[in-house]
Amino acid sequence: MTITTLAELAADLDQGKRSSVEITKDYLGRIKASHHNAFISVNEDLAIGQAQAADAQRANGNKHTLLGIPVAQKDIFCIEGTQTTCGSKILENFIAPYTATVVQNMQDRGVVSLGKTNMDEFAMGSSNETSHFGSVSNPWGSEETKLVPGGSSGGSASAVSALLAPAATGTDTGGSIRQPAAFCNLTGIKPSYGRCSRYGMIAFASSLDQAGPMTHTAEDAALLLNTMAGFDAKDSTSLDVPAEDFSACLNDSLDGLKIGLPKEFFGDGLDDEMASIIETAVKEFESMGAVIKEVSLPNSHLALPSYYVIAPAEASSNLSRFDGVRYGYRAEEYNDLVDMYTKTRTEAFGDEVKRRIMIGAYALSSGYYDAYYSQAQKLRRLISNDFTDAFGECDVIMGPTTPSPAFEAGSRSGDPVSMYLNDIYTIPANLAGLPAGSIPAGFTKSGLPTGLHLITPYLQEAKMLNIAHKFQQVTDWHMRTAPNAISGGKA
Amino acid sequence: MFTWDKRWEVVIGLEVHTQLQTKSKIFSGSSIAYGAEPNTQASAVDIALPGVLPVMNLEAARLAVKFGLAIGAHINKRNVFARKNYFYPDLPKGYQISQMELPIVGLGSLEIETDDGIKTIGITRAHLEEDAGKSLHEDFHGQTGIDLNRAGTPLLEIVSEPDMRSPAEAVAYLRKLHSLVRYIEICDGNMQEGSFRCDANVSVRPRGQEELGTRTELKNINSFRFVERAMEYEIERQIDILEDGGSITQETRLYDSDKHETRSMRSKEEAHDYRYFPDPDLPPMVLEDSFLDEVRATLPELPTAKKERFQSEFGLSLDDAQMLTADRETADFFETITKSTKAESKVVANWMSGELFANLNKSELELSESPISTSQFALLLDRIADKTLSGNTAKKVFSALWEKEGEVDEIIEAKGLKQITDTGAIEAVVDEVIAACSEQVQQFKDGNEKVIGFLVGQVMQKSRGKANPQMANEMLRKKLS
Amino acid sequence: MALDNETVHNIARLARIEIDPSEVSQTRSALENILELVAQMEAVDTTGIEPMTHPFDATMRLRADAVTEANQRDKFQAIAPKAEGGLYLVPKVID
């Protein structure tokens, strides 16, 4: 089976070759036949209903580009009437009574929601192994070598890579779109903080979380982001900027583009093979007229420590609402109120979530606030200032998305800190709120995909997609099908 | 009056939660109307569904700034919301959105009148925050019921310096604050409905000692009467402990108005660590100068300025001016009447503080609920000014008005209370009295001034109260000189 | 960064999480490892640096004061663990 892009599906629909219902049923069938555990729930009636509505709208002359195209939704987004778990036991029985703005925006443009994809619990993880609903397999692995799909948007990455959905939504707090995209050979974009509304997206770390598309191509990412982004009055951190067509400059020339390579991203800890793949990828840009410059992000080594204070601190507070009172899981037996809270949370949160809640509570506690939280927020400014300086010299920053390709399932789950190191290159963009993405960069000798990481200045998603698209015009890494993608029938 | 051993000095600071008069909640579009069915005014944001976010209400910011300007406080043009983290079932998010390091209103002050004259009480800060819901402890099979209608109601917490030295001063401050927030229309001041709530920090120290004693916090004392009694009890309790050689435990105590005692709130004993940090969902609020100017323009004349103007413009005494500017309704009522009656301002003031307030108090009515309309009250004072009524007959008309027997002129007509100002008619009665009271007439002629009162009284009696007493007095003196 | 068991218990209590006595030392060492990672921050002199709490130093947008929410109690309480008579029920709260 070969990859089908959103652009191709849109053309089929536009030319009347297939209906939305046909396409949607095709993907629902693949999901049913799959064994990747990429989805936590699939609401077939909802998906087919939306597809029927889309077909009716098309018959009435609605010409929206993605009208009738099915997409998988990360199970972090509330969709009214559907189970929304965030990968946690505490929300296993939660049927959302409202719909997230991002999903609503997509639905308003006729995008069909196929189902809810698996994820690390509350988006805390880099391997999808912290999900209450089980781990997810990376279609680039095999029966003998089970590979993680990355996380936290591991279900979304696996679903798209395994051809169970033509595209998916993800969220990225420290790399949760880009790292799984790199592990699964996808294009994953984390837009500027505030581009996509956070309303209805279950919060992990509020000042870092951002939704974005996970697709095969940059062109698809632009199309999907067009339907997701937009100002939302319900989110005080939503950017009030005019709507933008992220596809507008996909084909612009890269002649004279200044690419900055931060020396800090190519130092210790980077796999040699990865380094050479990235080097080769960067050369492609040179042949398109780009200029390579070495830049420096001198405080980038502080990104990981500050992130592991800021994100858990915000999470510890964000997750206090899960108390068994108004929705979600409540312990069966308890002696009193405090016992009810404690048993509910102890029984229904997984270990990684508990660890981060505790780290966060500690970092904010009396006597430690200045040394941890306040210091981390100061370092965050230094890291952000580094980018401002670097972008004085270049138009885009490039490097590897991850230090190494997808690792084997179970190989790091016992060691949280080694797991955290996965996000060492992706976290700085979250701290600074900058747009960043990962695109397929090539394969290791053992056949594993790798990601080229792109960071552009604030609000320059269109530029980043242009750079990504031009690369994909001269390479075909992104169109390679994973060995363990779903087999059979035509897409 | 409450007294305590003067070797001890009392130190009181107050934290007052005022509910701001907005239509919707501070961070959501739910109504804040009082008395709705439980949880019918609790939106997705208010019940903290996963994924919801707060959006700040502009009007709440405006009202907070209005308060800050009214107390001459520093306004923090950049102010920050913070999360106060703790678990409680009436707190749906597990944290309260409040302000910690950078509150909207900084240092200001309020002047109060005490027995020793004017005293300035410092106001440390006033910050915006959301109210919690309500726990209902009626028995639901041994469980507590949670109503989140109140959760997210906008509050301005006004924190004073520990500047008060007696419960009486604390009450004077509270009354002043209560009057001010209603004056500037940021809070309805309704204490029964919890719109104006007070916590008091109370400590005592040996007179002359600079260091503050250990304080206790008295929670939720929601009437002026209870505030004073609760503090009195607490001061005595603390002094008793200290005099017995004991020490005060820093704790939260609840006042029981039935038993007239304070007791420790055991559930609050667990050491709290609120883990405040800036709310990542709410970027800092930045207020422009133009916004402050706009709010300033909506400020009414403040009580102190009004008091001074009442003295200079209407020639009122300090006492009268104070009484009439104690709250905005009274001041507005006075000005309305003064503008529409021919009576002198002093007469208006006397009739308000006398008959009107006495009757309102007796019937436990607010000025706005008075059975006598402003126009009828003004007309009544007109009839005194044009000498149709004497002071005594005017009181009769007032009583009839109070009982809703009709309008001023109808009542005067129906009761035949029109004062006699016709010289001939009065002279006839005066002559009658001089003839009938020869003994008193002689006493007056012998120099007993006081008897003139008796004689005027006789004239009034014979005219059935209708003679103008001043004319009768003058005529008697002329005839007997 | 060394933590003692009591600190671990205190943090857990603040977070309303219970740690099984047999897992205290394991949790403690996991937390210590994270704190060790975080300890790299200590060495940096940040005197005079303003903490950055929001990307781009965004400022707040305020909303007009209007009632926009309708009653959705039945819908919301349909997913509540325990609700009766319009109230959420919890174990007795003692003040």
Domain range annotation of chain C: 5-42
A74 noted as active-site residue? yes
Q: Tokens at residue B182, please? A: 């209603």
- Residue of C65, C77, C92 with shortest CB distance to B57: C65
Residue C93 half-sphere exposure toward CB, CA atoms < 13 A: 20
What confidence tier does B438 reach under pLDDT thresholds 50, 70, 90? Answer: confident
Residues B426/B468, Cβ–Cβ less than 8 Å: yes
What confidence tier does B269 reach under pLDDT thresholds 50, 70, 90? Answer: very low
Pairing of strands B82-85, B95-98: antiparallel
Helices B469-480, B423-436: axis angle to 10 degrees equals: 60
Containing B62, the helix (H) or strand (E) segment is: helix B58-70
Catalytic residue among A19, A20, A34, A74: A74
Q: For B151-207, how does the pLDDT look when each residue is reduced to its tens digit (9 = 90+)?
A: 999 999 999 999 999 999 999 999 999 989 999 999 999 998 999 999 999 999 999
Q: For A93-110, how does the pLDDT look when each residue is reduced to its tens digit (9 = 90+)?
A: 999 999 999 999 999 999
Residue range A266-286: average pLDDT?
93
A63 noted as active-site residue? no
Q: Tokens at residue B478, please? A: 């002329």
* A362 vs C contacts (CB less than 8 Å): 7, 11, 31, 35
What confidence tier does B470 reach under pLDDT thresholds 50, 70, 90? Answer: confident
Q: For B322-354, how does the pLDDT look when each residue is reduced to its tens digit (9 = 90+)?
A: 889 888 889 999 999 999 999 999 999 999 999
Checking B462-465 for CB contacts under 8 A at 24+ apart, the result is: B462/B429, B462/B432, B462/B433, B463/B420, B463/B426, B463/B429, B464/B416, B465/B390, B465/B392, B465/B393, B465/B417
Q: For A278-315, how does the pLDDT look when each residue is reduced to its tens digit (9 = 90+)?
A: 999 999 999 999 999 999 999 999 999 999 999 999 99
Q: What are phi and psi of A243, to 5 degrees?
A: -60, 145
Instruction: Give chain B's domains with CATH numbers.
Output: 8-294 (no CATH), 303-415 (no CATH), 423-480 (1.10.10.410)
**Average pLDDT score over chain C:** 92
Burial environment of residue A242 by CB neighbours within 10 A (0 to 12, 13 to 18, 19 or more)? exposed
Residues 47-86 of C with CB under 8 A from B: 53-54, 57-69, 71-73, 76-77, 82, 84-86
Residue range B236-252: average pLDDT?
92
Helices B451-462, B469-480: axis angle to 10 degrees equals: 120
Give the nearest chain B residue to C71 (CA atoms): B40
**Average pLDDT score over chain A:** 96
CA–CA separation, B443 vs B280, rounded Å?
A: 91
A200 touching B (Cβ < 8 Å): yes
| Amino acid B1: pLDDT | 56
Give DSSP secondary structure letters for B139-176: EETTEEEEE-SSTT-EEEEEEE-S-B-SHHHHHHHHHH
B216-219 β-sheet, strand order: B108-114, B117-130, B154-160, B8-19, B196-206, B216-219, B252-256, B261-264
CA–CA separation, B215 vs B199, rounded Å?
A: 12
What confidence tier does A488 reach under pLDDT thresholds 50, 70, 90? Answer: low
Residue range A368-379: average pLDDT?
95
Please list, in sequence order, all residues whose beta carbon lies within 8 angstroms of the beta carbon of residue C31, skipping any fewer than 6 positions away: A355, A358, A359, A362, C3, C8, C11
Q: For B380-391, how does the pLDDT look when each residue is reduced to its tens digit (9 = 90+)?
A: 999 999 888 888
Q: Is the pLDDT reported for residue A489 higher than 50?
A: no
Q: Maximum Cα–Cα distance for chain A, whole Å?
A: 70
Q: Is the pLDDT reported for residue A6 higher than 90?
A: yes
Distance from CA of C31 to the nearest CA of A (A): 7
The single residue listed with the structure tokens 């009055």 is A233
Catalytic residue among A20, A131, A176, A238: A176
CA–CA separation, B57 vs B81, rounded Å?
A: 13
Residue B289 half-sphere exposure toward CB, CA atoms < 13 A: 0
Least confident of A15-29, A66-80, A214-228, B397-411: B397-411
CA–CA separation, A336 vs B403, rounded Å?
A: 58
Residues A394/A258, Cβ–Cβ less than 8 Å: yes
Residue range B427-446: average pLDDT?
89
A487 noted as active-site residue? no
Distance from CA of A442 to the nearest CA of C (A): 31
Q: Is the pLDDT reported for residue B117 higher than 50?
A: yes
Cβ–Cβ gap C67/B24 under 8 Å:
yes
Residue range A63-85: average pLDDT?
97
A partners (3+ CB pairs within 8 A) are: B, C
CA–CA separation, A211 vs A232, rounded Å?
A: 13
Distance from CA of A279 to the nearest CA of B (A): 38
| Amino acid C57: pLDDT | 81
Cβ–Cβ gap B48/A369 under 8 Å:
no
CA–CA separation, A118 vs A42, rounded Å?
A: 11
Q: What ipTM was assigned to the predicted interfaces of this complex?
A: 0.96
Give the nearest chain C residue to A231 (CA atoms): C61
Between the CA of residue A74 and those of A14, A41, A259, what are the distances in Å?
27, 10, 32
Please list, in sequence order, all residues whose beta carbon lies within 8 angstroms of the beta carbon of residue C47, skipping any fewer than 6 positions away: none
| Amino acid A268: pLDDT | 81
CA–CA separation, B193 vs B187, rounded Å?
A: 12
Least confident of A138-142, A166-170, B118-122, B460-464: B460-464
Residues A462/A401, Cβ–Cβ less than 8 Å: no
Give chain B's length. 481
Query: B340-376 burial string, b = 16+ CB within 10 Å, else e?
Result: ebebebebbbbbbeebbeebbeeeeeeeeebebeeeb
Containing A397, the helix (H) or strand (E) segment is: strand A396-400
Residues A444/A450, Cβ–Cβ less than 8 Å: yes
Q: Tokens at residue B271, please? A: 């050491």
C83-84 β-sheet, strand order: B134-140, B143-147, C87-91, C83-84
Single-letter residue type at C58:
A
Q: For B51-85, how does the pLDDT look when each residue is reduced to its tens digit (9 = 90+)?
A: 999 999 999 999 999 999 999 999 999 999 999 99
